[in-house]
Chain A
Amino acid sequence: MEEYKYLIPEESGDAISLDATKLRKIEQDLRSIFTKHHYEELMLPTFEYANFYQGIREQDSSSMFQFVNSDGQAIALRTDFTLPIARMYNNANTNEVRRYSYFGKVYRTTERHKGRSSELYQIGTELLGLGGEAGDQECLTLIEETMDTLELKNLKIELGSAKFYLRLMELVQDEKLSTILEKKSISEMKKFVTERGITGSLARLLLNLPMAFGNYEELMSFKDYVKDFELLDAIDQMAALYQTSSHQDQIIFDLSMVPSQAYYTGVMIKLYSYYSAYPILSGGRYDKLLNYFENDVPAIGFSYHLNTLLNAYIKEGEADD
């Protein structure tokens, strides 16, 4: 049997189902917005040292496509764009504000027969050297401008705060809390608070955190549970960013959002479609990433996940029929 003539490997499953015409259209729309705002498009290498990723994103090591090159070095297919762009900025030896965009695929191994994809098409931007409110605002504005061109119905922008999370971990000093927040597990939180003997205002805050998500009014009412100055500050930052939004009615918050990467430091952003089980965009402020290169530069970026996005179009289309 010459099956290889007729079948495609499981790794490329999703790649062939992408609607190329639609994808190129989105690409074109986003590119013109990025260009308008002076984001310089980059072509980045497909191959990287495996150690390059492992040094900062441990969880990537099990999901990298790897081979050993002629020098005996472990080489991986790129799993993300943010790191190579941060490296490029660092190597440029500058502290100016730089704006970059990228269009391309990242590669991650996945479990068999799960309908998950190994080849992921991403479009995104990185804004380096611009910290604080100004950077956050520029990033959110750009997301809002791009999401309008998508012509998808019922999108929601979700804001979280790594600053809030990091302060919380500092107050509680227990890694277990991270998993509980990630799972929004009300029952486990109750157990955790009791077992750890946490009382008073911190206990009240923790017990309410799993459900501490919703619109702006709900965020403001959750503020009542927060007594810590730094935590309040993190909420105020999110609120201030919200005030600058042109899409306030589409913004929701999640105080128990857990950063997906250790280098996130501030606002975290996700974009949801009603028709997709996963975010179509994710991003955030990662002021600590450049520390990896012994540098100290504020940065923020986001990335559209085209596989998820294109699926949302299909589902929305089916729902309209």
Chain B
Amino acid sequence: MIKIAITKGRIEKQVVKMLAEKGFDMDPIIHKDRELLIETKDGISMIFAKSNDVLTFLEHGIVDVGFVGKDTLMESDFDDYYELLDLGIGKCYFAVAAYPEYRTKTFNRRKRIASKYTNVAKAYFASKREDVEIIKLEGSVELGPVVGLSDAIVDIVETGSTLKANGLEVIEKVADISTRMVVNKVSLKYKKDEIVKLMNALKEDEQDA
């Protein structure tokens, strides 16, 4: 039996589809109603959770495997897991975004950066040796510059249309994001075969070395 926590929503749909294509029994999941835990015929037990909680379940050894975005991994202070695979799906990126004037403007005070991902923002500006003030916003982070709360934002950019609609643009790319398969370190040692089987099914089809 291998226990999996999967981020609800798009990641769930994509991973389930990939597994179904490789012959895993995903019917009970595709046809699920509101159940949060489902067991399949292949000996997989799957729970559906918010991205941060996927990592919490993994940390506490409740599940062996998690499917979660790189954004969540980067923001979390927990990093004692194996990150076996980049599934190459759910691709987007972290970026600093602001009004175009931001590029040329001189600041005589600390810049203010709004973000939902305060750790990512902090680490990024620290790596540039820039001392900034980070302000946490929970949603519609674009509001930061729009209402004058912050000079720029650090946020996930997919198409950039929300930015554009608000007159903002990408100033710098911070990091690429995609869906990752993460594994509890002890689980991998006890359930190697099962986890490798799952992993091979999700590997991008390319030649192996």
Which residues of A does B touch, CB under 8 Å? 111, 114-115, 154, 156, 158, 183-188, 190, 203-204, 207-208, 210-211, 213-214, 252, 254, 272, 274, 276-279
Please classify the interface of chain B as helix (H, G, I), strand (E, B), loop, or mixed, using the class held by over half of its residues: mixed
A115 cross-chain contacts in B, Cβ below 8 A: 60
B61 touches A277 (CB 8 A): yes
* Minimum distance in angstroms from A214 CB to a CB of chain B: 7
Size category, B interface: 20 to 34
Are B86 and A185 interface neighbours, CB within 8 A? yes
Task: Tell me, rounded to whole Å, the shortest Cβ–Cβ distance linking A234 to chain B.
Answer: 20
Cβ contact of A188, chosen from B77, B86, B189, cutoff 8 A: B86
Interface residues of B (CB under 8 A from A): 56, 59-61, 77-78, 80-86, 88, 183-190, 192, 196, 199, 203, 209
B209 contacts A207, C-beta separation under 8 Å: yes
Since A154-B190, A156-B190, A252-B189 are in contact, a sample of 15 more A-B pairs with Cβ atoms closer than 8 Å, ordered by chain A residue number, is A111-B77, A183-B81, A184-B183, A184-B188, A185-B83, A185-B86, A186-B203, A187-B84, A187-B86, A207-B209, A213-B192, A272-B189, A276-B61, A277-B184, A278-B61
Residues in B whose Cβ lies below 8 Å from that of A156: 189-190
Q: How far is the CA of A199 from the CA of B82 in the complex (A)?
A: 25
Could you tell me if A203 and B209 are in contact, using CB atoms closer than 8 angstroms?
Answer: yes
Partner of A272, one of B83, B183, B190, B196: B190
Report how far A161 CA is from B26 CA in the complex, Å.
Answer: 40
A277 and B186 contacting across the interface, CB-CB below 8 Å: yes
- Give the complex CA separation of A254 and B188 in angstroms: 11
Chain A residues contacting B56 (CB-CB under 8 Å) are: 114
A274 contact set on B, CB distance < 8 A:
186, 190
**Known: A114-B78, A208-B209, A274-B190. Is A188-B83 also a contact (CB below 8 A)?**
yes
Q: Which residues of chain B are near A272, meaning CB under 8 Å?
A: 186, 189-190
15 pairs, A vs B, C-beta closer than 8 Å: A114-B78, A156-B189, A156-B190, A183-B82, A185-B86, A186-B203, A187-B86, A203-B209, A213-B189, A252-B189, A272-B186, A274-B190, A277-B61, A278-B61, A278-B80
Measured CB to CB, the nearest residue on chain A to B182 is: A183
Give chain B residues whose Cβ lies under 8 Å from the Cβ of A254: 189
Decide: A277 near B189, CB < 8 A? Known: A187-B85, A207-B209. Answer: no
Question: Known contacts A158-B189, A203-B209; is A184 also within 8 Å of B83 by CB?
Answer: yes
Say yes or no: A184 contacts B82, CB within 8 Å.
yes
Residue of B whose beta carbon sits closest to that of A274: B190
Q: Quick check: A186 and B84 within 8 Å, CB to CB?
A: yes
Given A114-B78, A278-B186, also A214-B192 (CB < 8 A): yes
Contact pick for A186, options B81, B85, B189, CB 8 Å: B85
Q: Which residues of B contact A276 (CB under 8 A)?
A: 61, 186
Measured between alpha carbons, how far is A114 from B77 in the docked complex, in Å?
10
Q: Give chain A residues whose Cβ lies under 8 Å from the Cβ of B187.
A: 277
- Please name all residues of chain B whose beta carbon is closer than 8 Å to the beta carbon of A277 when the two chains form the complex: 59-61, 184-187
The CA-CA distance from A210 to B82 in the complex, in Å, is: 9
* Residue in B56, B81, B185, B190 whose Cβ sees the most chain A Cβ within 10 Å: B185
Of all chain B residues, which has the CB nearest A115? B60
Which residues from B are CB-within-8-Å of A190? Answer: 209
The list of the 8 closest CB pairs from A to B, nearest first, reads A277-B61, A187-B86, A207-B209, A183-B83, A184-B82, A185-B83, A272-B186, A274-B190
Residue in A187, A213, A254 whose Cβ sees the most chain B Cβ within 10 Å? A187
Nearest A residue to B81 via CB reads: A183
The residues of A that contact B82 with a CB separation of less than 8 Å are: 183-185
Q: List residues of chain B with CB within 8 A of the CB of A210.
A: 84
User: Which residue of B has the minimal Cβ distance to A191?
Assistant: B86
Question: Which B residues are CB-close (under 8 A) to A158?
Answer: 189
With a CB–CB cut-off of 8 A, which chain B residues contact A114?
56, 59, 78
Residues of A within 8 A of B77 (CB): 111
Q: What A residues does B209 contact at CB under 8 A?
A: 190, 203-204, 207-208
In the bound assembly, the distance between CA atoms of A185 and B77 in angstroms comes to 18
Q: Which of these, A111, A187, A279, contacts B186 with CB under 8 Å?
A: A279
CA distance A154 to B186 in the complex (A): 12
Residues of B within 8 A of A279 (CB): 186
Which residues does chain A contribute within 8 Å of B192, judged by CB atoms? 213-214
**Docked CA distance A203–B208 (Å):** 12
Distance of A208 Cα from B81 Cα, bound (Å)? 19
Q: Kindly provide the distance from the CB of A185 to the nearest chain B CB, expressed in whole angstroms.
A: 5
A185-B83, A277-B61 are known contacts. Are A211 and B78 too (CB-CB below 8 A)? no
**Chain A residue nearest in CB terms to B77:** A111
Across the interface, do B84 and A184 meet the contact criterion of CB distance under 8 Å? yes
| B186 proximity list for chain A (CB < 8 A) | 272, 274, 276-279
Q: In the complex, how many angstroms separate the beta carbon of A216 from the nearest chain B beta carbon? A: 14
Q: How far is the CA of A210 from the CA of B85 in the complex (A)?
A: 11
Residues of chain A lying within 8 A (CB to CB) of residue B61: 276-278
